[in-house]
């Protein structure tokens, strides 16, 4: 999402592939972004295709690509604020305010929106711009590994503070009411329902630790931007080996923790599950994100892959437009204001639709950028930011 004087097609390609991963997750989840009610879970028998799609997305995509997307957001902050002065910081804050407005409109249609979260967390980034690079790296790793959640959960468990309240147990009647709204409600009903979901979304971010992970990836993106090394010089074979080592170690910890939880009969106690299973799984996701980044930059060095990646880069070049278009098409397919396939379409078919949508977006981006220099939403974002900035500079 950066507006650099000279764009790096590799960064755009990385963003494009990240948007592909995000699209596949959202489509497979049918743009529901939450727990289905018991009636739906009991009535659905997943087909073989559904199980394959769910397993593939769960193992290799879900929880990994949003990390990379967050990393790119932090990196874009460095490109936008190359000169750390009041003018550039003020303009960055205004960009975030406009982004929050765009995100809020998006949230009204899809409660899984991340733009509002990025806008709120992004406000903190200027505070870390002048951090010592080594401290910035360590702090980013600390947050990206979800260590703050581990600390809070351990304190909660040891002292029985019940910090997270009853957020793990949403009454089924509430789950059913929301599902029915998306499946049969009017367009206005859906907007109203999602307008009431913002606090719940933020609560999930805190409870799951995603808000810490996201901010950690912001900081790591900022650290990479401020370092003297190129991205190719950071995501090397050496880092790939470290990522694989972290992945294997995390899997071992996850398996051992799972055996302990199972043998002690603690599967239903969410406090133990969130410490002994969720944290190692977050580390698995982090390790895979590192591996994907290293593999991506290895591919960019192969000439035979460059034409494909350069096509994908067009989607990433208009990333905000791409992200919002995916929601527009996804909600039109699944929600009652559109085709209304939420109750009937399986995960496997939804996954394939997400793939088709992304392919169409590649062609759309190619056609659009052959005539314009940026995506339509990016242009609205830029014009709005510049207009608001100009108001403050008028006598």
pLDDT tens digits for range 81-121: 876 778 889 999 999 999 999 999 999 999 999 999 999 99
Name the pLDDT band for 2 (thresholds 50, 70, 90). Answer: very low
Model pLDDT, residue 167:
62
Domain count, the chain: 1
- Asked if residue 3 belongs to a domain, the reply is no
Whether 163 maps to a domain, the answer reads yes
Q: pLDDT grade, residue 127 (50/70/90)? A: very high
d(C-alpha 342, C-alpha 180), whole Å: 10
* Segment 283-294, tens digit of pLDDT: 999 999 999 999
Is 304 part of a structural domain of the chain? yes
Kindly state whether residue 1 falls inside one of the protein's structural domains: no
Tally Cβ neighbours within 10 Å of residue 392. 9
Q: For residue 2, is it within any domain?
A: no
Of the two residues 89 and 219, the one the predictor is more confident about is: 219
**pLDDT attached to residue 1:** 41
Predicted pLDDT at 4:
40
pTM attached to this predicted model: 0.94
**Per-residue DSSP letter, 44:** -
pLDDT reading at 303 higher than 50: yes
Least confident residue range of 29-33, 73-77, 111-115, 154-158:
154-158
The pLDDT, as a whole number, for residue 296 is: 98
Per the prediction, the chain carries an average pLDDT of 93
Q: Report pLDDT for 5.
A: 41
Q: Give the per-residue pLDDT at 162.
A: 77
Whole domain around residue 216: which residue ranges?
9-393
CA atoms of 27 and 53, how far apart (whole Å): 11
pLDDT at 6: 65
CA 188/CA 337 separation, integer angstroms: 9
Task: Evaluate whether residue 32 is within a structural domain.
Answer: yes
pLDDT value at residue 338 = 97
Burial call 101-131: b when 16+ CB within 10 Å, e when fewer: ebbeebbbbbbbbbbbbbbbbbeebbebbeb
- Whether 301 is covered by a domain: the verdict is yes
For residue 334, is it within any domain?
Answer: yes
Instruction: Say which residues have a Cβ less than 8 Å from residue 87's Cβ, sequence separation at least 6.
Output: none
Mean pLDDT of the 171-199 span: 96
């Amino acid at each position: 999402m950066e507006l650099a004087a000279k764009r790096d097609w590799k960064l755009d390609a990385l963003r494009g592939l990240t948007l592909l991963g995000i699209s596949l997750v959202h489509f497979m989840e049918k743009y529901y972004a939450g727990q289905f009610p018991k009636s739906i879970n009991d009535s659905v028998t997943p087909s073989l295709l559904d199980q394959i799609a769910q397993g593939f997305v769960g193992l290799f995509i879900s929880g990994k690509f949003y990390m990379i997307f967050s990393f790119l957001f932090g990196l874009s902050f460095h490109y936008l604020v190359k000169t750390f002065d009041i003018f550039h910081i003020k303009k960055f804050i205004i960009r975030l305010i406009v982004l929050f407005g765009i995100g809020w409109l998006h949230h009204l249609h899809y409660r899984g929106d991340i733009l509002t979260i990025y806008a709120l967390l992004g406000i903190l980034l200027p505070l870390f711009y002048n951090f010592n690079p080594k401290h910035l790296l360590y702090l980013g790793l600390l947050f990206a590994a979800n260590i703050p959640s581990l600390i809070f959960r351990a304190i909660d468990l040891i002292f029985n503070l019940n910090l997270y309240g009853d957020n793990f147990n949403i009454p089924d009647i509430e789950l059913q009411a929301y599902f029915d709204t998306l499946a049969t409600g009017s367009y206005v009903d859906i907007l109203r329902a999602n307008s009431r979901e913002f606090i719940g979304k933020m609560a999930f971010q805190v409870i799951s630790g995603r808000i810490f992970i996201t901010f950690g990836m912001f900081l790591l993106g900022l650290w990479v931007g401020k370092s003297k090394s190129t991205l190719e010089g950071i995501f090397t074979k050496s880092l790939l080996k470290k990522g694989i080592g972290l992945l294997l170690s995390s899997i071992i910890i996850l398996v051992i923790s799972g055996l302990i939880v199972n043998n002690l009969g603690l599967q239903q106690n969410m406090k133990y599950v969130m410490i002994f299973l969720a944290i190692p799984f977050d580390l698995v996701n982090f390790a895979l994100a590192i591996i994907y980044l290293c593999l991506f930059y290895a591919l960019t060095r192969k000439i035979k892959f460059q034409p494909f990646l350069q096509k994908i880069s067009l989607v990433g070049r208009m990333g905000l437009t791409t992200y919002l278009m995916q929601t527009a098409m996804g909600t039109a397919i699944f929600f009652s204001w559109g085709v209304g396939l939420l109750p009937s379409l399986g995960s496997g078919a939804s996954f394939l639709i997400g793939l088709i949508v992304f392919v169409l977006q590649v062609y759309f981006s190619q056609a659009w950028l052959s005539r314009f220099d940026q995506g339509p939403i990016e242009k609205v974002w830029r014009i709005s930011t510049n207009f608001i900035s100009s108001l403050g500079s008028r006598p």
